[in-house]
Every structure is written in structure tokens, then in C-alpha cells.
Amino acid sequence: MKKVTISTLIKMKQEKEKIACLTAYDASFAKLFDTCGIDLLLIGDSLGMVLKGEDSTLGVTVEEVAYHVKSVKNGVERTLIVADMPFMSYATPEQTYLNASKLMSCGANMVKVEGGKWLLESVKGLVERGIPVCGHLGLTPQSVNVFGGFKVQGRTSDKAEEMLSAAIDLQEAGIQLLVLECIPSALAQLISAKLDIPVIGIGAGPETDGQILVMHDMFGISANYMPKFSKNYLAQNKDISSSVHQYIEEVKNGSFPGPEHSFE
């Protein structure tokens, strides 16, 4: 199978083929996911919660993400690799360029940053320097203390308009992928339709261009809790490989996420 690139994902959006994504943190799981046909793997700062057992993502460092990027890279042949930029690792453009280059040199194909219009200068600078960027709007876990907890975002008309405007501005600045987390399905559908780049949802309903789950949630083994937007695929299957194949199939045919995994 051909290597998945950003161009591959854009073509999938144009052809209305859903994009199936998971998090990964080591070579063994990355190889299994890659073999199963997953399109994109994210080395998420979720590792702070699912690997380290912390109550947020805020304690994750660039060095920790870089270590796991190297591990995942060693297990992957075709899947696109995206690396999270940890909390406060992209507070200024200069800091952003330095830390993003570290993650790219470890094997990432793209870096992901959380936030809206305040990121535009950094996004432009990264793209100008040859570093592809994935945006992240909605429930951005690094802002959990500002939000007052892990809460659904974009439920009021003004907040929805603000998010749509930020998504458009980020695309114009150069992002080539966008993650929407924990927002109403109708808003996610609107943003996905307005953008030319692929939009990946997590708790954002079925009408985005693709879906992503934290692998530990998908297997029902998260240390803290099971989010509403997740589904335990291991409970329905005899092994991990079968679980991943079912997840990919349900994303591709549009049966996941269902109403029970979405927000109105």
C-alpha cells in the first residue's frame, strides 16, 4: 500500500472517503495499526493521562513526545504520523519553530497545535519553513483550566461563529488538517463543509471528514474514565487486530460515531 501523505488525505476528502485515525505511542501498536490500514497516527499529549496516569495533558514535555514519535516511526511503513506540540511549547513563534523541528527530526510528518487566531503567525512561519501543521479547535485539553474542565465547546451562537472564523483563518494561514474535539455535530458539519482541508472529529459527530480516538479508550483500558464520544471495540472482538479493523470499517461506512457518541 502507498504511503499516506497530506495529499492523500486531501484527495480522500474530495472523494468523500472517510479518514480513520488513532493515537499511538510505541512501535508495536504502531505496526499493528499500520498493518490494519489506519490512515493517520497521532502521538498525542494524551500520553500524559493514558501512559503517565496524570489528570491532564499539561505535564507532558517536548522530550517525551519526541521519544514516542521515534518509537512510533520505527513501527510504521505507510501511515501519516502527526505529533502533538505540548503545553507551552509554542508560546512564541521562535519557540514554536525550535520545538517543531525537534519533533519533525524524530520522524513526524506534521505537528499539531491547539488554539485559534493567536496562532496565525506561528502557523505561517512553520509552513514557510517546511513544517506541515494540523490545527485543533473546540475542547483543546491544554486549555482545560481556562474552560473550567473538560466541557463541550461551541454551543452558543457567538462561540460557534468564533470557532468557524478561527478555522477559516487557520486554513488561510496554512494548516493542512484540522481536529475538532467535543463540539456540537451541526457545527462540526458546517466547519467541515466550509474548509477545503480535511477535518478530523473526536466527539464532533459523524459529518467530519474522519475520526480519531485515543487507543486506550478504544480498547476500554483508560486509567481514568471512558469519554462519551468513545467506544470500546475490544469488548466486541476477540483480539486487538479485529477491534481495529472494526473501528476502521465503521469510520469508513459512517456508522461510527453514532448519536450516543455525539453532542447536540
pLDDT tens track for 97-147: 999 999 999 999 999 999 999 999 999 999 999 999 999 999 887 776 665
Residue 238 assigned ligand-binding role: no
For residue 245, pLDDT beyond 70:
yes
Is 45 assigned a ligand-binding role in the annotation? yes
With vertex at residue 222, the alpha carbon angle to CA 44 and CA 134, rounded to the nearest 5 degrees, is: 20
Question: Residue 222, annotated ligand binder?
Answer: no
Picking from 1, 22, 5, the residue whose alpha carbon sits closest to that of residue 176 is: 5
Domain boundaries of the chain, sorted by first residue? 6-261
239 annotated as belonging to a binding site for a ligand: no
Residues paired with residue 23 on neighbouring β-strands, in sequence order: 42
The pLDDT value recorded for residue 240 is 97
pLDDT score recorded for residue 65: 98
The whole-model pTM stands at 0.95
At a CB cut-off of 8 Å and minimum separation 6, what does 202 contact? 179, 180, 181, 182, 211, 212, 213, 229
3-state secondary structure at position 39 = coil
Kindly name the residue from 64, 161, 172, 181 that is annotated as catalytic. Answer: 181
Across-strand partners of 111?
83, 133
CATH class of 6-261: alpha beta
**54 an active-site residue?**
no
- Spatial contact of 109 and 82, defined as CB atoms under 8 Å apart: yes
- Lowest-pLDDT choice from 133-147, 176-190, 246-260: 133-147
> Would you give the DSSP letter of residue 208?
S
**Whole-angstrom distance, CA of residue 114 vs CA of residue 110:** 14
The C-alpha atoms of residue 15 and residue 210 are separated, in whole angstroms, by 12
Does position 224 have pLDDT exceeding 70, yes or no?
Answer: no
